[in-house]
Amino acid sequence: MSAVCRKAKLEDVEPLYQMIQGYAEKGIMLPRSKKVLERQIGEFVVAESEGQVIGCGSLCQLGSDLVEIRSLGISEGHKGQGIGSMLVDSLLEEARRRQLPKVMALTYEVSFFIKNGFSVVEKEIFPEKVWTDCIHCKKQHACDEIAVLKVLN
Ligand SMILES: CC(C)(COP(=O)(O)OP(=O)(O)OC[C@H]1O[C@@H](n2cnc3c(N)ncnc32)[C@H](O)[C@@H]1OP(=O)(O)O)[C@@H](O)C(=O)NCCC(=O)NCCS
């Protein structure tokens, strides 16, 4: 079974919502409403296999040279097949195209990001804007996510 990576379309909002909601309920992603997904659909890429969305990821610009990878997830049963790395590659390519060389993420999946060329960094190096979304997070005063960064060349 082969997966392809493509830009998300409005028709993907429902499966994107379901996937992100599933991970949000487990506390490993921030929830995104369907309205927000509709508005930000241009920031998303999806992995598709046999007509089904089986993975997603998005970019969120945080500064003149800084962008965050958000909402990166692969559905159960499709993990460990290189699809997450394929989505990260495509998001890095898009960051490069937009001339945003610093790509960061907040994650529990540190070894996955290290395999994809990121390094662990102190959260304090990032500007205030990185943390604006945290007001929506139940763990905002006890954030245990790890910050990772890749600087594109
Ligand atoms: C993290 C996630 C996106 C990785 O996607 P994936 O398609 O399973 O990853 P890949 O198959 O591309 O993995 C690439 C490499 O990382 C390794 N890897 C993947 N997940 C890993 C993990 N949890 N821990 C350690 N290594 C991992 C793989 O073994 C592979 O290594 P290899 O190339 O030497 O075989 C996926 O597991 C997921 O959806 N997790 C839950 C949601 C989440 O936490 N998202 C991150 C939010 S920032």
Domain harbouring 18, CATH code: 3.40.630.30
Give yes or no for residue 49 CB within 6 A of ligand 1: no
Please check the confidence at residue 53 and state whether its pLDDT lies above 90: yes
3-state DSSP call for residue 118?
Answer: coil
How far is ligand 1, taken at its centre, from the CA of residue 124, in Å?
25
139 exposure class (CB count in 10 Å sphere: 0-12, 13-18, 19+)? exposed
pLDDT tens digits for 25-42?
998 999 999 999 999 999
How far is ligand 1, taken at its centre, from the CA of residue 62, in Å?
24
Give yes or no for residue 123 CB within 6 A of ligand 1: no
Q: Which of 20, 10, 4, 15 is nearest to 136 (CA)?
A: 20
Greater pLDDT, 58 or 125: 58
Give yes or no for residue 21 CB within 6 A of ligand 1: no
Q: Domain total for the chain?
A: 1
Look at strands 119-121 and 146-151 and give their pairing: antiparallel
pLDDT bracket for residue 96 (50, 70, 90):
very high
How far is ligand 1, taken at its centre, from the CA of residue 153, in Å?
23
**Nearest C-alpha to atom 19 of ligand 1 is from which residue?**
112
Please check the confidence at residue 21 and state whether its pLDDT lies above 90: yes
Q: Mean pLDDT in the chain?
A: 94
How far is ligand 1, taken at its centre, from the CA of residue 109, in Å?
7
**Which domain, by its residues, includes 105?**
4-151
Greater pLDDT, 117 or 140: 117
pLDDT bracket for residue 77 (50, 70, 90):
very high
Give yes or no for residue 126 CB within 6 A of ligand 1: no
